[in-house]
Structure 1
Amino acid sequence: MNDRAELLPFGGPGVGSSSAPLGGPPHRGHDCLLSFCRAFNFVTGLCAVLCALAFGMAMWVRGEAPTKDPYFYSGQAVRLFGIGIAGMVLLVETEWRRWLELVPLLESWLGRGVLQIFEATLTFREAYPSGSTDFHKSLALYRSAASLSLLVCGSVYILGTVTCIGVIKTAKQRQEATLARAEAELERMERRKKELERQLGLGLPGRGGLPRD
């Protein structure tokens, strides 16, 4: 009897078979702010892609470089720089933790808003068409829509900084990460408990536990 009692959890007979289970992980409620922020991240990333496409089309419509024209090359370099900034905005909006660790300034809403407003201004200034055909007019309209949409997104980030929504969102994200780690640990403990019960013969139906001495 003593040997069996030492094998049972908590050292008491019948405790392992009649003790209450740990239970599943607690149900996390639906957070409206985090859901809105994720949707806004997607919209902002899409606007950054539109700006990158506007820069790409502006580079393509200019064709071959004129002979010894430094302004052409400098303009193309600025447009290529704009594509790179758009890619940076897109990576930031994915909330990729490793990337945010490399650019901690862009983890704050103020940094994101300033970068996006700069990219929107650069798009409107440098992604302009070079002709007057219908295609160039369409490109001008597309350029204006892409830059305006990213400008609105950047303004929302600035407004969120002023109203401390960004700070609240960061706190909620940390709380969500803490709950996720707690749930993972609880599930690991539950699996460990079931494995111990299986080894002791307490978790199988039709078995009355270990034979008594």
Structure 2
Amino acid sequence: MNASDAERQDLLPGSLSAAGGSSAPPPGGGDCLLHICRVFNFLTSVCALLCALAFGMSMWVRGDATVKDAYFYSGQAVRVFGIAIALLIVLVETEWHRFMHLVPLLDAWLGRGILHIFEATLTFREAYPSGTTDFHKSLELYRSAASLSLLVCGSVYILGAVTCIGVIKNAKQRQEQQVQRAEAELERMERRKKELERQLGRPPPAGLFL
């Protein structure tokens, strides 16, 4: 038996079946809780972007102020800070695992909820209009809706942390990631076996991967 035959034997049914047995996909095409959480992540990201837009509009309407003292610049700096927090929330809601390793506090639902409530409060406090025109009245209504929606999202996160829904969701998400890695490994092994079969000039046994 040559080296190619030995490598081929290592990849045949025993190793493939072992990999396949550990990577069975979850029934029903996924977990309902994870689907609901992903929709909620999207809605929370939209609310955070609305808060960022409210801060931007508030900075714009105050840009033509006649008196630009220390209070004016400190207020503008706070609004820039609010925009940065809103973008941070959007990045957190993507739940990119490499980024979440850098901010483990925000991986917990309690920490995430507190951040959202802080941003909602900051939006309501600092993104207020400076005049009485129709545009300023629209901005007042807009920032109220944006801050209230993000406040609701933060309250849901805190409620989920208290009821341990966040812990359950994180456990299910880790299990899903393990299944995806196992499926990717099985697919790689199948491609490698087919390549070895092609090099040996032998057709793969019928029904091996059925």
TM-score computed with the length of structure 2 as normaliser: 0.84
Distance 2:127 2:5 in 1: 74
Report how far residue 177 of structure 1 moved: 0.9
Report how far residue 65 of structure 1 moved: 4.1
Report how far residue 114 of structure 1 moved: 0.2
| Aligned counterpart, 1:31 | 31
1:36-68: CA deviation from partner (whole Å, max 9, x where unpaired): 111111100000000000011111111334445
Report how far residue 10 of structure 1 moved: 5.1
Report how far residue 21 of structure 1 moved: 11
Residue identity over aligned pairs, in percent, reads 72
Distance 2:72 2:118 in 1: 22
The alignment's C-alpha RMSD in Å is 2.5
Report how far residue 198 of structure 1 moved: 2.3
| Aligned counterpart, 2:96 | 96
Equivalent position amino acid for 1:124 in 2: F
SS of alignment partner, residue 45 of structure 1:
helix
Report how far residue 79 of structure 1 moved: 1.0
Distance 2:52 2:14 in 1: 58
Contact 1:66 1:72 in 2 (8 A): no
Report how far residue 20 of structure 1 moved: 9.4
SS of alignment partner, residue 102 of structure 1:
coil
Equivalent position amino acid for 2:168 in 1: I
| Aligned counterpart, 1:165 | 165
Report how far residue 124 of structure 1 moved: 0.5
- Rg (Cα) greater in structure: 1
- Greater share of residues in helix: 2
Report how far residue 69 of structure 1 moved: 2.4
SS of alignment partner, residue 184 of structure 1:
helix
1:135-162: CA deviation from partner (whole Å, max 9, x where unpaired): 1111100010000000000001001101
Report how far residue 97 of structure 1 moved: 2.1
Report how far residue 117 of structure 1 moved: 0.1
SS of alignment partner, residue 87 of structure 2:
helix
| Aligned counterpart, 1:115 | 115
Distance 1:141 1:63 in 2: 20
| Aligned counterpart, 2:146 | 146
Q: 1:122 to 1:21 in 2, by over 3 A?
A: closer
Report how far residue 204 of structure 1 moved: 6.6
Contact 2:25 2:179 in 1 (8 A): no
Q: 1:204 to 1:98 in 2, by over 3 A?
A: closer
Structure 2: tracts of 5 or more residues without a match: 206-210
Contact 2:110 2:161 in 1 (8 A): yes
Contact 1:65 1:73 in 2 (8 A): no
Distance 1:88 1:103 in 2: 11
| Aligned counterpart, 2:208 | none
Q: 1:201 to 1:138 in 2, by over 3 A?
A: same
**Taking CA–CA contacts closer than 8 Å with sequence separation of 6 or more, which of the two structures ends up with the larger relative contact order?**
2
Please give the residue correspondences for 1:59-208 in structure 2 after superposition, counting only pairs within 5 Å. 59-67=59-67, 69-203=69-203
Contact 1:82 1:119 in 2 (8 A): yes
Question: What is the total number of aligned residue pairs between the two structures?
Answer: 196
Equivalent position amino acid for 2:163 in 1: T
1:139-193: CA deviation from partner (whole Å, max 9, x where unpaired): 1000100000000000010011011111111111111111111111111111122
TM-score computed with the length of structure 1 as normaliser: 0.83
